[in-house]
Chain A
Amino acid sequence: MTLLAVESLRVAYGDLTAVHDISFSVEPGEIFVLLGANGAGKTSVLRAISGLLKPTRGTLNSEGVSLLGLRPDQVAHLGIAHVPEGRRIFPNLTAEENLDVSFIRQRSKETLAQLRDRVYGIFPRLASRRRQTANTMSGGEQQMLAIGRALMNTPKLLMLDEPSLGLSPLMTELMFEQLARIRDQGASILLVEQNASCIDMATRGLLLANGHTMLSGDHAKLRDSDFVRRAYLGV
């Protein structure tokens, strides 16, 4: 069943329409990218899916269940985890406490400690920082923590909003590799990025400009598109 089906989604803030009738779907095992410049409406799409804002029209379904009208915590309990823009870790909690509060027991076959150890296995740096207050961690570590926190949901769909923001190219590459590994372990990924290097690992994707769909298709179509090449890859 389709993990996420977005149909004719429109998001408006007052008179300003941020997203115009966008449609796409994410299937199990996919890495789907939403590519676009600042202000293209990418963040609004994610916020609408996770219930942080109410779409003006359109439908949102996950495995046949409508997400419309659900609170963000209810969407999270369906296994849709959202790593928001700017990481938004809990600054005064330790790294481990950040993970603990994000554990959704009903969704997990593992215990809190087992799942936490699995996250530490994916991000060993977090294990050495477990007693450290989150605001004292480096940007890269905070991004790992934000992703680790989402994994405590045991998500079927992991949505990330510009996780490469503020990271060095090396760190970004490392993080994309981790995402591929997380996908291999069973979660699908919906990735919002300005950084076109994420196309390499995408199965499919969609290019947004000013809230409109410019292009949508599979990996090859995105990679070979003149528009993406000129606008994002600089070739």
Chain B
Amino acid sequence: MLQALLSGILVGGVYGLFSMGFSIAFGVMRIVNFAHGELVMIGMFAAFFAYSAAGVDPLVAIPLAFVVVAALSAVLYLLVYRRFVGRATLQQLLAAIAVALILQTSATLIFGPSAHAVRSNWGSQYLLIGPIFLSYAQLAAFAISVACVLTVEAVLRKTSWGKAIRAVADDPEAAQLVGLNSQVINITAFACSGALAGIAGAVLVSYYPVSPHVGFLLMPIALIATVLGGLGSIGGAFVGGIICGVIQQMTSVLWTSALQDVPLYGVLLLLLAFRPYGLFGRVSAH
């Protein structure tokens, strides 16, 4: 039990990291980015590429994954998502799914359909504390995720860009009236959303194999974590991610790992029925 709880928290840290990215896109632009899992996948491949081509450790390749996915996100925003800002419509969902499929297929063409794993010396070792064993890779991943989340929170609280992002998330129209350029804010927020997915990808690939289809496994987690944390609450999504990790690990220990996502969806349905604004519900502007 304790083992499952602890590894759930560790795994959940990374979930929280990319869920935060997903939550930024939703909170600021009301874009439900169904391709967010694919952005994590691209981050994983970027770090894997650095490892296989130059022997660079995935954690050292974080800046590469950050830059690649942030740039890709900015391009995707300009080409596709820009048209759907403020409206989480069916068209927007379909467009995002199309982007997801295109990214998936492109990854399959470039890297092939099979899974690739990073084999580092330290990544497969475990820290033993009594009966509990924790993988060094997961510990490192968790530490990096927490550091990133704290950084993002600090940026959102303290910098003028962060405050502007939160103002747009609260009320995009009023934000324009006080002189904030929503186009600049949206594109940087979307790039930031992607950057978090990219970092999460580089961190994740240090202990989890990457395949072109991994995005479809990660995407539901981002969705559930965001709803758990409260739609639009960026910090809440991180907590939601950790809860997702714990639920998953508990299920695989107490039940079976084959069905580890089933209770997760159960939680989503219960939440939507009873607490649609999430556990940390927040005020909407209207």
Contacts from A to B (Cβ < 8 Å) = 50, 52, 71-73, 76-77, 81-82, 84, 88-93, 97-98, 100-102, 104, 135, 149-150, 152-153
Contacts and interface: CB of A to CB of B under 8 A. Distances in A.
B173 A102 contact: no
Contacts of B167: 90, 93, 97-98, 101
B182 interface: yes
B47 to A, nearest CB: 34
A92 B283 contact: yes
Given A90-B167, A92-B283, A101-B160, A76 B177 contact: yes
Given A92-B166, A93-B167, A52 B285 contact: no
A84 B174 contact: yes
A228 to B, nearest CB: 30
A136 to B, nearest CB: 9
Contact of A88 (B164, B171, B181, B283): B171
B176 A91 contact: no
Given A52-B177, A84-B177, 18 more contacts: A50-B177, A73-B177, A73-B182, A76-B176, A82-B177, A84-B173, A88-B173, A88-B174, A88-B285, A90-B167, A91-B171, A91-B285, A92-B169, A93-B163, A100-B160, A101-B164, A101-B175, A135-B283
A104 B166 contact: no
Tell me the interface secondary structure of chain B in the complex.
Answer: helix
Contacts of A77: 179
B163 A149 contact: no
A93 B171 CA distance: 11
A97 B163 contact: yes
A104 B179 CA distance: 7
Given A84-B173, A100-B160, A91 B178 contact: no
B282 interface: yes
A218 B176 CA distance: 33
Interface in B216-264: none
Interface string B127-158: 00000000000000000000000000000000
B166 A76 contact: no
B214 interface: no
Q: 4 nearest interchain CB pairs?
A: A76-B179, A102-B178, A72-B176, A88-B174
B163 A89 contact: no
Contact of B170 (A76, A84, A93, A104): A93
Scoring B171, B175, B176, B181 by chain A CB atoms within 10 A of each residue's CB, the highest score goes to: B176
Scoring B164, B175, B177 by chain A CB atoms within 10 A of each residue's CB, the highest score goes to: B177
Scoring B160, B178, B282, B284 by chain A CB atoms within 10 A of each residue's CB, the highest score goes to: B178
B107 interface: no
A149 B163 CA distance: 14
Contacts of A81: 177-178
Given A73-B180, A101-B164, A152-B178, A91 B173 contact: no
Contact of A73 (B160, B163, B179): B179
Given A100-B160, A101-B180, A92 B170 contact: yes
A63 to B, nearest CB: 18
Given A101-B163, A135-B283, A90 B174 contact: yes
A156 B176 CA distance: 18
B176 A73 contact: yes
B166 A93 contact: yes
A186 B166 CA distance: 31
B62 to A, nearest CB: 30
Interface string B273-286: 00000000011110
19 contacts: A52-B173, A52-B176, A72-B176, A72-B177, A88-B171, A88-B174, A89-B174, A90-B167, A90-B170, A90-B175, A90-B285, A92-B283, A93-B170, A97-B167, A98-B167, A101-B163, A149-B178, A150-B178, A152-B178
Nearest to A91: B283
B8 to A, nearest CB: 29
